[in-house]
Structure 1
Amino acid sequence: MSETQTPPLTLNIQYTKDLSFEVPNAPAIYTILRQPPSVNINLDVQVRRIQDDQNVYEVTLATRAEATIPAPAESTNGAEPGKDMTVFIADLSYSGIFTLTGIPDNQVEPVLLVECPRLLFPFARNILADVTRDGGFPPVMLGPVDFVGLWQSRREQMDAAPVANA
């Protein structure tokens, strides 16, 4: 009789934790938009332990897409000349509840900050594309994300941060 082995990483559930989409300059923006806007993407990974005595974590992929265009030369709709005009802002927090089993302590952080967001990313990418397309704009298609690089740069920033004396 063989024992069933529990996988080291289990995705229990995934869900949209928060979703916001706004077009602050509607309806005027639709009349002046002649080309795809410039989109700035910010991405962050947040982790929190669900219960202190268990290896169950909520991992959240927080994404913000902010699209802008140069303001028109003549200010017909309240935009300041020379200042970028916001086309849309999309904020998405997409989360998963993960159980870690038998993962060595020194591997827990990279699993939570690299592997877990890698599993969530395709779903968050689709939601962001759908919501921007449904908002009347070209869909925002997130390119591949180097979660290893993101994790390593976060580690370097934490290592470089000065420690205050008590």
Structure 2
Amino acid sequence: MADETNGAAPQVPQVKMSVLAQFVRDMSFENIVAQKGIATNEVKPETQVQVSLDARKRATEHQYEVITKFKITSTNGPEKAPLFLLELDYAGIFHVEGIAEEQMHPFLLIECPRMLFPFIRRIVSDVTRDGGFAPFYLETIDFLVLYRAELARRAEQKPAPTQALS
């Protein structure tokens, strides 16, 4: 049974993506141990990582800026005395074509951060090491899970529709 396209496969737009630039937008590292004079043999670090993502269209056609924001807090054991705080905003400029408009948001907040992540991991490792601590290696982040969790969080925050009184 032949279809109306004379046997040719339907044209599926080809996804084109390239990283045009990537850079540190903002970074702050506070070595609280050095400031307070805590002996390093007393340190039993517990580290918490918070990640947030943002994306925006740029003026140039098919270009988007994706920003990953990390807040890494390390505290000392059960008393939770702060050891260090690292805040990093890392951005990438991407050229993206062939993605349906309704799929662009998840693509920008899942695939683009995935491309930037190895560079972010290296920066975090280097900064913590250069700051006087053992290098902190970020564990791999599943940006799809992160994206879904953010959608669920936003859905919970939306107020329930109110019924009109008659």
Question: Which category describes the TM-score, using the shorter chain as reference length?
Answer: 0.7 to 0.9
Aligned partner (choices 115, 122, 125) of residue 119 of structure 1: 115
Match of 1:109 in 2: 105
Count of paired positions: 149
Question: Aligned letter for 1:34?
Answer: E
TM-score, normalised on structure 1? 0.80
Identity score, percent: 32
Moved more, 144-153 or 22-31: 22-31
Other structure's SS at 1:26 match: helix
Name stretches of at least 5 consecutive residues in structure 1 with no aligned partner.
72-82
Question: Aligned letter for 2:52?
Answer: D
Aligned partner (choices 39, 42, 64) of residue 34 of structure 1: 42
Describe how 1:1-166 pairs up with structure 2 within 5 A: 8-51=16-59, 54-70=61-77, 83-163=79-159
Moved more, 93-102 or 34-43: 34-43
RMSD: 2.3
TM-score, normalised on structure 2? 0.80
Name stretches of at least 5 consecutive residues in structure 2 with no aligned partner.
1-12, 162-166
The superposition leaves residues 8-56 of structure 1 with CA deviations (integer Å, 9 ceiling, x where unpaired) of 21211011111110113424444154344111111111112222x7332
Alignment CA distance shift 1:61-1:33 (3 Å): farther
Question: Matched residues in 2 for 1:163 and 1:100: separation?
Answer: 34
Shift of 1:162: 2.1
CA contact (8 A) 1:36 1:138 kept: no
Question: Matched residues in 2 for 1:67 and 1:148: separation?
Answer: 26
CA contact (8 A) 1:7 1:101 kept: yes
Shift of 1:155: 1.4
CA contact (8 A) 1:45 1:59 kept: yes
CA contact (8 A) 1:46 1:59 kept: yes
Q: Looking at CA atoms only, which structure, 1 or 2, has the larger radius of gyration?
A: 2
Question: Matched residues in 1 for 2:134 and 2:53: separation?
Answer: 25
CA contact (8 A) 1:133 1:139 kept: yes
Question: Matched residues in 1 for 2:103 and 2:90: separation?
Answer: 23
